[in-house]
């Protein structure tokens, strides 16, 4: 398997270099998002009022056409904690790569192909009710970025793209045995209002196990107003046993407002009474593309041995889960994109 991985990535790099030289200007872009919310959170026993910065970010991106048909690209993105006056550098998608007719080759720290599916089907990304509260619940870790990632994306062909990512060692130090390696791959169709993708991911954890997951995601623009989405995930080799997750969601636009809702279900693993479900409903008030105000109510219902939460995924202020307790949250948020 390592030979196949190396050959695929090497072929992509070699094809990227076989182009004539060309000099051009450097294009630089600064962008980001400020996302804060006031949340009343209940863990099933106690409740309180919170302020949370939710995956707020600052992004620097640059590109240069270095030869005919070949562009060098880079991105540096960091999380910003507006709520606690802090942040971490390069903790989000950060990479250096080459883009051309062959596709895209990049190296760095970024979303895996499997993780990307969730962001395209989640109606409450980075909010109370985020799908990761269920898809990456207890014993599951399939919405991550891996250190030392090497990624190839094919050019789009009639709406289809192929992604392959390999991580030789998901740790800070050098390796001589490639322990904790991972790979993630996906096939995606995205055209005419339809997004459909299937992905497989496996990684070696610190215990030497190989958790893996198959994920399918679909979203469809039924009309200019109505969008529907669904996700299915089957995860294996987990502590506690295999687990299946599925979810559905929809959004509907009415002038400057968007109504949205979604429901997710986690099946039980080898433990009795270990399943959970999550329901979220909300409304957005849109002020163009730059500013969104929203309100969300979410509820996660746990079986007696389950410990899923309503407010964890994409949030810097997270609500810990208590086994067997139902967690809920009401959130008023503000998102500013620049």
Express as a percent the part of the chain with pLDDT over 70.
92
Torsions phi, psi for 165 (to 5 deg): -130, 135
pLDDT score, position 206: 78
Q: Which CATH architecture has domain 2-337?
A: Beta Barrel (2.40)
pLDDT score, position 235: 96
**Sign of the dihedral defined by the CA atoms of residues 233, 234, 238, 243, in that order:** positive
State the Cα–Cα distance between residues 78 and 91, nearest whole angstrom. Answer: 5
pLDDT score, position 169: 83
- As a whole number, the mean pLDDT across the chain is 92
Confidence of residue 31 (pLDDT cuts 50, 70, 90): very high
**pLDDT digit string (tens) for 60-111?**
999 999 999 999 999 999 999 988 876 667 899 999 999 999 999 999 999 9
Whether the pLDDT of residue 13 is over 50: the answer is: no
pTM: 0.89
In the numeric block, the tokens 């987990």 are attached to 238
State the Cα–Cα distance between residues 188 and 121, nearest whole angstrom. Answer: 13
* In the chain, where the domains are located: 2-337
């Amino acid at each position: 398997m390592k030979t196949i991985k190396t050959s695929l990535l090497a072929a992509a790099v070699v094809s990227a270099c076989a182009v004539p030289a060309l000099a051009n200007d450097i294009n630089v872009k600064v962008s980001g998002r400020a996302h804060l919310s006031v949340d009343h959170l209940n863990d099933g026993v106690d409740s309180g009022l919170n302020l949370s910065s939710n995956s707020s970010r600052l992004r620097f991106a640059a590109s240069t056409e270095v030869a005919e048909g070949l562009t060098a690209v880079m991105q540096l993105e960091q999380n910003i904690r507006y709520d606690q006056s802090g942040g971490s550098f390069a903790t989000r998608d950060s990479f250096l790569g080459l883009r051309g007719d062959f596709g895209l080759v990049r190296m760095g720290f970024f979303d895996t192909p499997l993780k990307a599916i969730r962001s395209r089907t989640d109606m409450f990304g980075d909010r109370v009710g985020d799908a990761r509260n269920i898809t990456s619940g207890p014993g599951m870790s399939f919405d991550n970025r891996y250190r030392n990632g090497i990624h190839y994306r094919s050019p789009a062909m009639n709406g289809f793209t192929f992604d392959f990512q390999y991580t030789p060692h998901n740790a800070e130090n050098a390796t001589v045995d490639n322990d904790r390696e991972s790979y993630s791959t996906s096939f995606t169709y995205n055209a005419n209002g339809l997004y459909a993708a299937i992905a497989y991911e496996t990684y070696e954890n610190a215990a030497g196990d190989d958790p893996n997951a198959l994920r399918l995601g679909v979203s469809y623009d039924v009309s200019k107003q109505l969008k529907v989405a669904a996700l299915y995930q089957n995860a294996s080799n987990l502590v506690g046993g295999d687990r299946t997750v599925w979810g559905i969601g929809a959004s509907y636009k009415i002038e400057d407002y968007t109504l949205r809702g979604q429901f997710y279900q986690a099946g039980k693993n080898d433990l009795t009474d270990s399943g959970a479900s999550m329901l979220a409903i909300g409304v957005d008030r849109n002020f163009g593309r730059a500013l969104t105000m929203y309100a969300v109510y979410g509820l996660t219902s746990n079986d007696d041995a389950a410990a899923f939460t309503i407010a964890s995924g994409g949030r810097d202020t997270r609500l810990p889960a208590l086994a067997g307790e139902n967690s809920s949250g009401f959130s008023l948020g503000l998102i500013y994109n620049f």
